[in-house]
């Protein structure tokens, strides 16, 4: 992963350190509240991106960047949604 990369068509930049911290926070949410807190937020994110007219490729890339690789159940859920 590069030191920094842009998401959301250049509207914001995220550093590698923030990216790692975000993944750790996501793991903590799963540990504390379970998957019921995370899976609906993934679905809502997908709906929001569609509403904002992001392409399917942009949605797939963004969802996978933020949620994929944290947990196998989340990975399976994203794949089951077609992303």
Q: What is the pLDDT of residues 29-65, one digit of tens each?
A: 998 998 888 899 999 999 999 999 999 999 998 898 8
Q: Which alpha helices (DSSP H) does 1-83 contain, by range?
A: 16-33, 39-51, 56-67, 72-80
Q: How far apart are CA 43 and CA 78, in angstroms?
A: 9
Query: Domain residues of the chain, as ranges?
Result: 15-80
pLDDT at 1: 41
Residue 12 — pLDDT band, cuts 50, 70, 90? low
- Mean pLDDT taken over the chain: 82
The pTM is what? Answer: 0.69
């Amino acid at each position: 992963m590069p030191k920094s990369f842009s998401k959301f068509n250049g509207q914001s930049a995220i550093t590698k350190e923030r990216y790692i911290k975000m993944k750790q926070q996501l793991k903590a949410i799963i540990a504390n509240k379970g998957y019921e807190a995370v899976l609906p937020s993934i679905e809502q994110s997908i709906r929001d991106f569609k509403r904002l007219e992001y392409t399917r490729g942009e949605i797939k890339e963004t969802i996978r960047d933020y949620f994929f690789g944290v947990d196998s159940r989340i990975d399976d859920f994203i794949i089951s949604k077609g992303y």
